[in-house]
Amino acid sequence: MSGQLWQKISHRVVFLCVLLSAVCVLLAALVVDRSPAARRIVTLGASSAAAATASTLHSSPASTAADSLPVAHFSNMSADPSSNPPAAAAAPAPEAEDAGSNQPVPDSFFELKALDAKKKPVDFSEYRGKVVLVVNVASKCGFTPQYKGLEELYKKYKDQGLVILGFPCNGFGSQEPGGEEEILGFCSNTYGVSFPIMAKTEVNGDKEHPVYSFLKKKKSGIMGIKRIKWNFEKFLVDKQGEVVERFSSLTKPEELDGKIAALLAK
């Protein structure tokens, strides 16, 4: 096999490996973060990776114009085929910050208030000195079975000072369409939930609840994005009212056991 042919084959193998790796990483990022901002970032990342690999292949002395597609072809490709822009389209603008996130927030979680599912006011000052796990929940989501793990955590640690607050939200795929009474019945009958369930809540946008304005302001998510991406995201608040960690929907409740135990022990 001639040196030129071998070089040509090597460049093609390298190109395919890099492109496949980039696609796998970007698709994984989409699974974790489904927000429009994340999709735009993934799209730009895919474009950059594809353009770079295509440029490398195109500039190789072993390749010819007939051997590879032009760089422009790759740089206009999106990770989401349905949203591929035309060749002349400009890069999308970054997503605007949540309007609610610009509102003043208190210094401590324990200064907040909210309504429970029976529309009774709850002053979070009653949780002072406790560890609180806040979760935006939904009854018809693929992550809904996490209710079981949340209830197990609550039963295990409630006497040591753990509070879990479930905030129903219909903002993701309309997966919490019912009223509070229906939600309470579902939680109790299906998963035996005994921790507090709050009133239905907006967690993003200009109508988001102050609780979520506070939580997102204190702890951003993946890639610095503040908005809630999907149901069953979790915020862990310590005994001093500080948001210490934020977890994606993919983090199972049982994975928080050690972190909760450590905070309760302090």
Residues labelled catalytic: 141
239 pLDDT tier (thresholds 50, 70, 90): very high
Cross-strand bridge partners of residue 135: 166, 234
Q: What are the distances in angstroms from CA 114 to CA 65, 79, 170, 198, 212?
A: 64, 40, 17, 8, 11
Produce one character per residue of 238-248: b if its CB has 16 or more CB atoms within 10 Å, e if not: bbebebeebbe
**H/E segment holding residue 247:** strand 243-247
What domains are there in the chain, each with its CATH number?
3-78 (no CATH), 101-265 (3.40.30.10)
Q: Does residue 264 surpass a pLDDT of 80?
A: yes
Burial class (CB in 10 A: 0-12, 13-18, 19+), 113: exposed
Tell me: pLDDT of 32 over 70.
no
Tell me: pLDDT of 65 over 90.
Answer: no
Q: In this predicted structure, what is the pLDDT of residue 18?
A: 57
Helix 146-157 to helix 180-191 angle (10° resolution) is 80
Threshold 0.85, pTM exceeds: no
pLDDT of 197 > 60? The answer is yes
Residue 223: pLDDT band by 50, 70, 90 thresholds? confident
d(CA 21, CA 1): 28
Tens of pLDDT along 75-123? 333 334 333 433 333 333 344 455 455 667 888 999 999 999 999 999 9
pLDDT number for residue 122: 98
Q: CA–CA separation, 162 vs 151, rounded Å?
A: 11
Residues 191-195 have a mean pLDDT of 98
Model confidence at 28, pLDDT cuts 50, 70, 90, reads: low
Average pLDDT across the chain, whole number: 78
**Model confidence over 123-148: pLDDT tens digits?**
999 999 999 999 999 999 999 999 99
Q: What percent of the chain has pLDDT over 90?
A: 58
